[in-house]
Amino acid sequence: MLDKDSLWQKLSDQFRSNTTDLTYDTWIKPVKPISFDGSTLTLSLPSELHRDYWKEQLAANLIEYAFVITKGNIEPKFILDSDVNQEAQEKPVDNSVQQESDNDEFSFSKENHLNPNYTFDNFIIGKGNQMAHAAALIVSEEPGKLYNPLFFYGGVGLGKTHLMQAIGNKRLEDHPETNVKYVTSEAFTNDFINAIQTNRTEEFRREYRDVDILMVDDIQFFAQKEGTQEEFFHTFNDLYNNDKQIVLTSDRVPQEIPKLQERLVSRFAWGLPVDITPPDLETRIAILKNKAKLDNLVIPNDTLSYIAGQIDSNVRELEGALSRVQAYSKLKNEPITTDLVYEALRGLKLSQDNRQLSIVDIQNKVASYFHISINDLKGKKRMKSIVMPRQIAMYLSREMTSNSLPKIGKEFGGKDHTTVIHACDKIAEIIKLDADLRKEIADIKSALN
């Protein structure tokens, strides 16, 4: 009998030769075989989205391939990586499961206004955007069906616009007849105001409702715009009721957008809200490699790693750093080496140093350090693996910024200032005794400086 790894190897080879690279990378590659008892193959998947997709779309293929390979009927069973991790924590003696979780550690008018470079092909998948990418792909394949609206949220420059437009570009490539419209929330607002001023509201409505996919970017700018929100509410309902796809992005969850009407907040949560978190080092290196290849730049691997180590805020700044290095190398007429990068980025680091550190910077850093989502960091979950990073982020916000306690509480999902005081006291108390935690906090602080 084949063991779980050999069976999975053969199965994934089958999938690789029978599907596109995109499908393979999105759905097959992240799967880990957990056990195989001769009839049931248990597979661990990164998210519920992956599990739904496997059950709906891929399980039948798996059974077929498994039959060809083993000449027997194999049932797949799907569990989530998080379940495996939890089980591993509860049962640390179970080496096979422990090993799996260790491996886990390595590791989105007539004019559509789409940027043709924002494609799935140019998008590097990492831990922070895996779920968003998978959801985007599903929506591009079956708009208006499963996840409506699809709502991406997360910090600046993390790829929300890219992923959103990739949906539009892929859909148009596969189905050129699709009517896709991408706008920023400001463009929506301006069009609406112009329509009122020029008595062309009917035309405006046709323009926005006669589409198959409507994408509105950065909807946090709807905050406090009552009239626009009212109009968008009707646009939303019209599209939704006609099974048209809506894709939205924001820098925060709908509940946290100031003065956003309750009925919009609740509608935005009907579909799939999915966050994008900052890329880890490995993903940053992969993004740089891809960008260097697209720009025909020759850069040694250790130099790429060096750049990725220096710029860890967001992908836009990472790309900015690479352009700066490129320009510097042209100016000096020298190849791109680590020494040259050091020179090129020195000024950049200085200007970053002069920037005021914000609570959001601290939240991003702490969340990526502890591999948790911003949502969890700011949320109410009481697991120790989340409470501790949350308290550390509050403590650092208090120590490293000049924000008041109520302001810090507000930025952590609207918590009371007494919660912040409690967190600060608690962390101050623990670091006196716990050298490991002291070191972790020092690491985070030096990364923030």
Contact set with ligand ATP (CB under 6 A): 118, 122-124, 129, 156-162, 218, 251, 287, 315-316, 319
C-beta separation of 140 from 166 below 8 A: yes
Which CB atom, from 9 or from 301, has the smaller least distance to ligand ATP?
A: 301
The residue (of 320 and 379) whose beta carbon lies closer to ligand ATP is: 320
Q: Measured between alpha carbons, how far is 83 from 32 in angstroms, rounded to an integer?
A: 13
Q: Are 395 and 427 in contact (CB under 8 A)?
A: yes
Label residue 260 exposed, middle or buried (CB < 10 Å: 0-12, 13-18, 19+): buried
Minimum separation from the CB atom of position 133 to ligand ATP (A): 8
Distance CA 350, CA 246 (A): 41
Task: Give me the least distance between CB of 221 and ligand ATP, in Å please.
Answer: 11
* Residue among 141 and 218 whose Cβ is closer to ligand ATP: 218
Report the 3 state secondary structure along 95-119. Answer: HHHHHHHHHCCCCCCCCCCCCCCCC
Q: Which two tokens mark 80?
A: 């989530």
Known binding positions for ATP: 157, 159-161
Q: In the structure encoding, which two tokens stand for residue 47, read together? A: 């998210």
Q: Name the minimum Å distance from CB 158 to ligand ATP.
A: 4
Minimum Å distance from CB 260 to ligand ATP?
17
Could you tell me which residues come within 8 angstroms of residue 114 by beta carbon, excluding any fewer than 6 positions away?
165, 168, 169, 172, 180, 182
Q: Is the preceding peptide bond at 149 cis, omega within 30 degrees of 0? A: yes
Output 277 or 329, the one with its CB closest to ligand ATP. Answer: 277
SS3 181: strand
- Shortest distance, CB of residue 338 to ligand ATP, whole angstroms? 23
Torsion, CA 256, CA 262, CA 265, CA 270, rounded to 10 = 150
3-state secondary structure of 124: coil
Residue 377 CB, nearest approach to ligand ATP (Å): 18
Cβ-based nearer residue to ligand ATP, 71 or 106: 106
Binding-site residues, in ranges, read 157, 159-161
Residue 280 and residue 278: Cα distance in Å, rounded? 7
Residue nearest to ligand ATP (CB): 159
For residues 292 and 423, which CB has a smaller minimum distance to ligand ATP in the complex? Answer: 292
The residue among 124 and 183 lying less far from ligand ATP, judged by its C-beta, is 124
The Cα 88–Cα 81 span in angstroms is 10
CA atoms within 13 A on the CB side of 141: 12
Q: How far is the CB of 203 from ligand ATP (least distance, A)?
A: 28
